[in-house]
Chains A and B, each alone.
Chain A
Amino acid sequence: MKNFIFIFKSAIEDFSRNKLRTFLTSLGILIGIFAVVVLMALGLGLKKYISDQFETMGKNSLFLVPGRVLSGGSFTGSVSSVSGRFDDRDLQTLKKINNIIGVAPLAFKSTKIKGLLKEDYGDIMFSSETFADIMGLEIDTGRFFDKSDVSKKTKVIVIGSKIATDYYGSIEEAIGKKITIDNVKFTIIGVTKSKGGGGMGGFDYDKYLFAPYTTGFIFNPDKRFFRLSVKVKNENYISQVKEDIKKEFLKRYKDEEFSIVEPTELMSAITSIFSVLNLILVAIAAISLLVGGIGIMNIMYVTVSDRIKEIGIRRALGARKSDISYQFLAESVLLSSIGGLLGLGFAYLGVLLAESFFPAYIDLLTVIIALGVSSAIGITFGVFPARKAANLEPVEVIRYE
């Protein structure tokens, strides 16, 4: 123990005498750890972002989309084609299947929207009362449209919080007001809670408007739907319902004309793609760790040659081969750990900076991996120089001038 303390103490003293050399030697590890940690942090952030997006979709939902989306857990080909859309008949088919507690069709309309303060193009989603539940939308003020709104085709509308502030100044101001969509007047009955999100292909629900799909048939005379969502009683029924839907839909469509997607399935597919991409990037960054390790090995060989006399003296005073070996190993581990710690520190700063425009975070595992890898590099690349030092014959080195 006293031996180890002494070894580390003298290594640190050695480094403080050679600050520049110590810094330059550990620079390779610094850069490597920095790159690896930042990339891992970005990967983790992205993964979390994706799962958050899917989390909001509500549990026990299934999505029906035209065309092929997923096959064997990965993406294939095109997502949808204009021709392959669902209609009211499909909606009725779904309603007849057991253990489905809600169906939400989805039709889009992009058109001119006129509010109190503003007139601009916007997007309306037409769906059923189940939509809010399936998509995980929450109401801030007022209410979401209900079953009777859907059956009576009432001209009511729920708007995103961003729309409320943009077109009316505030959420309170918007409630109960009229909004004109393509010359049809709707009454605002509710404003959704802000969800954030958007970007990277996700919807920013704060900027959407939501109205009953039956009312929407005004703009959608052929009653076509872009997507059908289904809420299943509970998770035990998901696979059964999936089978039933497939059976029913195969009566009308070919197998490749529709897909039934579970959000979790979609999420794992997307996540796995990003994970692979991230892994490749991390692997490339890890090459710089290898280069850094070689740098340390090189310096350690130089150090051994520089200190042949010292090694001889220590051996003459009773140091064993292992004592000499540990001394040099401790130095290389310290060198690479210093690099690792600095790299981690810089990566932390980098992630703090990146956080404002990209999801990124460092978890404990990343820290453990970073420090573990950097000391492992110290050991791996320090072992050969240390062995060289330890195996020097005392008589050779004591004579050395």
Chain B
Amino acid sequence: MEFRLAISSMIKFTNVSKEYKIDEGYTFFALKKVNLEIKEKEFVSIMGPSGSGKSTLMHLIGLLDRPTNGQIYIANKEISKISDDEISRLRNEFVGFVFQQFNLISKLTVFENVVLPTIYSRRSLDFSPQERTLEILTKFGLKDKINSYPNKLSGGQQQRVAMARALIMKPRLILADEPTGNLDSKTGHEIMMLLEKLNKEEKITIVLVTHEVDIAKYAKRTIKIRDGMIEN
């Protein structure tokens, strides 16, 4: 416990609520006064049934959404106080996303998909985007697919392309939203092993959203969520 406190805070939620106005007079509370903290280099899974609010939580951690109430600190920065452009910059440099639907851009080749985040970077990079793209894709066994389009690839290959894209900007956090949801269990476990390796070897913080128990087992800590609240 003491050793954990020494590690700096990656994500911190204090009394975070998220409400959606469905109709006039009816409000849906997706998250209710959530408090949580994820520290650097952790591998955390967020589990919960559908409709529990885990996707909302994921979107808030990934800076894709802003809370209705409460504070979110990313690397000790309070995100409600920063501009949209600054949030875009954080998404670009700080977070890497891996989605259930892979979310590759179908009209771009594998190579172009992976290199895309570097296009949106406004700072000078300490690596060559082309070389790094090639390097990661080679490591993931996709070297011969760099000029293919995503629809010519298997699910496992597409998810590896998505992982390569998540890694290109050397993020400190990877957010994986049901990354195995569209894969068979063998491929799913391969992807999870890859995430595990990234956490162990490259010290990247990983937040995994899943509803599968044996997938959640890869994480060192599990946060359970139900009806918009964290279960203890």
Contact = CB atoms under 8 A, between A and B. Distances in A.
Q: Do A and B actually bind?
A: yes
B59 interface: yes
B65 A317 contact: no
Interface in B97-130: 97, 99, 103-105, 107-108, 116-117, 119-121
A318 B103 contact: no
A320 interface: yes
Interface residues of B, number: 26
Interface in A352-401: 393-395, 398-399
A173 interface: no
B88 A17 contact: no
A386 to B, nearest CB: 16
Contacts of A14: 107
Given A315-B88, A316-B62, A316-B97, A6 B103 contact: no
B105 A3 contact: no
B64 interface: yes
A319 B87 CA distance: 10
B93 interface: yes
A398 B108 CA distance: 18
A394 B117 CA distance: 15
A398 B103 contact: yes
Interface string B81-97: 00011001101110001
Given A394-B64, A394-B65, A398-B64, A313 B119 contact: no
B121 to A, nearest CB: 7
A321 B165 CA distance: 20
B91 A317 contact: yes
B150 to A, nearest CB: 11
B120 A320 contact: yes
Interface residues of A, number: 26
A317 B107 contact: no
Given A6-B119, A398-B103, A317 B64 contact: no
A316 B117 CA distance: 9
A399 B99 CA distance: 10
B119 A3 contact: yes
Contacts of B64: 315-316, 394-395, 398
Contact of B92 (A17, A313, A317): A317
Contact of A318 (B59, B89, B104, B108): B89
B91 A393 contact: no
B97 A3 contact: no
Contact of A320 (B62, B85, B103, B105): B85
Contacts of A321: 84-85, 88
A52 interface: no
A379 B120 CA distance: 22
Given A313-B105, A395-B65, A319 B97 contact: no
Interface of B: 55, 59, 62, 64-65, 84-85, 88-89, 91-93, 97, 99, 103-105, 107-108, 116-117, 119-121, 165, 169
A-B CB proximity, top 10 nearest: A318-B92, A395-B65, A318-B120, A320-B88, A395-B64, A394-B64, A317-B117, A318-B91, A319-B120, A395-B59
22 contacts: A2-B119, A10-B108, A14-B107, A17-B107, A309-B103, A313-B104, A316-B62, A316-B64, A317-B91, A317-B116, A318-B89, A318-B93, A318-B120, A319-B88, A319-B92, A319-B120, A320-B84, A320-B88, A321-B85, A323-B120, A394-B64, A395-B59
